[in-house]
Amino acid sequence: MSIAEAGEFGLIARIVARLDDGPATLLGPGDDAALVAAPDGRVAASTDVLVEGRHFRRDWCTAADVGHRAAGANLADIAAMGATPTALLVALVVPTDLEISWPEELAGGLSAEAAKVGASVVGGDVSAGPLTIAVTALGDLGGRAPVTRTGAQPGDVLALAGRTGYAAAGYAILSRGFRTPKIFVEAYRRPEVPYAAGAAAAQAGATAMIDVSDGLLQDLGHIATGSVVGVDVRREAFTVPDQMRDAASALGVDPYLWILTGGDDHALAATFPPEAALPPGFQKIGTVHEGTGVTVDRTPWTGGTGWDHFR
């Protein structure tokens, strides 16, 4: 059945049937607005939009994959503030000739990814048009101060939770028409976001934190600029996995290009005071110093700098 045949309310009913309430859902889909618990008296909120052909391709990803990716990108932003995600709202624009199973499976992916952190899809809107998914995530800080991009201090340790380069490798593999190695293709389709590391970093005294969505060096540039510091990444902190080395070699790419500038894995990069014990999941990858900008082994990086969505 096409979406045109189901109609707007038929589509909404089928999407809502794929959603579950989470613990923070006080009022779920079906009214003018949802109602979400915000026990902290503040709510963290972030929005990301995915456009077909630019952020995903239907021949590379299932609808469920796109749901996982869209939810993951947003939930990671909440985690990067040191908050715990509570809810998602989804604006979905779909072509009317699309099979209705596509948005149903998308909703299933969104819901399943949110459930990993105890969050749920609480509301949204649908319209006909070119396939586009805008997701807003809400989260709760649990009484903690938010970890922004502006608090890094010279002398701080730079640490990373999660991985980088995997989704970029998967993208490169898919771009050349391959489907393996699976580990990278799956990393591109459904990023493994270290959600719990966000609140753990805040509890451990992180001074600054960012979701690595556009590429490690580019995103660290936001911390450098926001905190008015220099950030140095040690290349030797990254071990290139054998499979990545092989894939990079086969494609004629330097694997450090993926690791240092590849986006979409949604690792969390954070800075900690030198005396802080790094929380589980984080490993040291560099240092913060007086100065400006981002360097690799104290040398400016000249190999490309991540993603501009308009270029």
Interface of this chain with its own copies, residues 23 to 42, rule: CB under 8 A: 26-27, 30-42
Give dist(CA 60, CA 212) in Å, integer.
22
Q: Which stretch binds its own copies (CB under 8 A): 104-112, 143-151, 154-162, 184-192?
A: 143-151
Q: Per-residue string for binding with its own copies, 225-264, x by CB under 8 A? A: -x--------------------------------------
Of 14, 16, 50, 241, the one binding its own copies by CB under 8 A: 50
Stretch 58-87 residues interacting with its own copies (CB under 8 A):
76-78, 80-81, 83, 87
Residue with tokens 């990716």: 69
Residue 90 touches its own copies, criterion: CB under 8 A: yes
Residue 310 touches its own copies, criterion: CB under 8 A: yes
Residue 211 touches its own copies, criterion: CB under 8 A: yes
Q: 140 or 244, CB closer to its own copies?
A: 140
Give dist(CA 74, CA 47) in Å, integer.
6
Q: 49 or 251, CB closer to its own copies?
A: 49
Residue 295 touches its own copies, criterion: CB under 8 A: no
- Asked if residues 204 and 272 have their Cβ atoms less than 8 Å apart, the reply is yes
**SS3 annotation, 86-107:** EEEEEEEEECCCCECHHHHHHH
CB of 232 to its own copies, least distance (A): 22
Of 93, 112, 240, 251, the one binding its own copies by CB under 8 A: 93
- Asked if residues 117 and 84 have their Cβ atoms less than 8 Å apart, the reply is yes
- Strands ordered across the beta sheet of 120-128: 120-128, 84-94, 132-140
Residue 136 touches its own copies, criterion: CB under 8 A: yes
CB of 100 to its own copies, least distance (A): 11
CB burial string 28-44: b at 16+ within 10 A, e below: bbeeeebebebebeebb
Stretch 104-133 residues interacting with its own copies (CB under 8 A):
122-130, 132
User: DSSP readout, 99-154?
Assistant: BTHHHHHHHHHHHHHHHTTT-EEEEEEEEESS-EEEEEEEEE-TTPPP--SS---T
Could you tell me which of 188, 182, 197 has the C-alpha nearest to residue 165?
188
Q: 85 or 255, CB closer to its own copies?
A: 85
Q: Is 295 helix (H, G, I), strand (E, B) or coil?
A: strand
Of 18, 68, 69, 149, the one binding its own copies by CB under 8 A: 149
Q: Which stretch binds its own copies (CB under 8 A): 6-14, 58-66, 184-192, 283-291?
A: 6-14
Rg (CA), the chain: 20
Residue 305 touches its own copies, criterion: CB under 8 A: no
